[in-house]
Amino acid sequence: MATLGNMGSKRQVALVTGGSRGIGFGIAERLAREGYALVINGVRGEAEVAESLSRLRAHGVEVVYAPGDVASDAGREALLERALASFGPPNLLVNNAGVAPKERRDVLEMTRESYERVLGTNLAGPLFLTQLVVRHMLAAREREPDFAACVVNVSSISASVVSTNRGEYCIAKAGLAMLTQLFATRLGPLGIPVYEVRPGVIQTDMTAGVAAKYDQLIANGLCVQPRWGYPEDVGRAVAALARGDFPYSTGQVIVVDGGLTIPRL
């Protein structure tokens, strides 16, 4: 079976949703260092992400920005159309785009509006984008039997660690864990591995508002490795999966949390 790591001189293309900042940028930059041509998706205008795109291009790879909201049918179709027009079918899909609740509320006070917004981006988006992209991957495989393909879903320890003041986020990430296993099971016989990467407390703009809280928790032993995680940590995990370093592990979870979720007394 062809893997992304053994395609020789063939250009490998990665589509990274939410790839212009935070964890997504860390993933994109690691992939750029490994020579991937990149399709970076986001909802901001291209001028707003110009600095990020420039930093990625500095690694000597082609980078295309494909705006589109993964929560909408039109947004998913637009970003995929841009990707296909630029490079053809991607070899690697990284479902990373995600949002947090605009306002943290107790699960008893969660609003339908917040639930639908978070689930739309964090769960429905990856589900229906994966459907679209995989169809093109399979069509490419028919034309080119050694076409390598892989899907990586970026989840969160919130898939299994409860936060009662952002229940909609936890529900979405738990659903993404099952989505990974569903697609892994469906696509395994077709030679397309699907993985979940589950970050812990990662230092990004999304966590900036609670930085002081987590600084204290980490200092008090929250993680076995006493530091914040960084987007680069997640990027390294995604790159290893894409290279085929775990060829017999489809459907599995790679936890990048510094040991936070190890049960301890």
Active-site residue among 36, 65, 115, 169? 169
Q: Distance (Å, rounded) from C-alpha 156 to C-alpha 241?
A: 17
Distance CA 206, CA 214 (A): 13
Q: Is 169 a catalytic residue?
A: yes
Which of 231, 234, 229, 199 lies closest to 217, judged by CA?
Answer: 229
Residue by residue, DSSP assigns 60-117 as T--EEEEE--TTSHHHHHHHHHHHHHHHSS-SEEEE------SS---GGG--HHHHHH
Of 232, 240, 237, the closest CA to residue 55 belongs to 232
For the annotated catalytic residues, the residue numbers are: 169
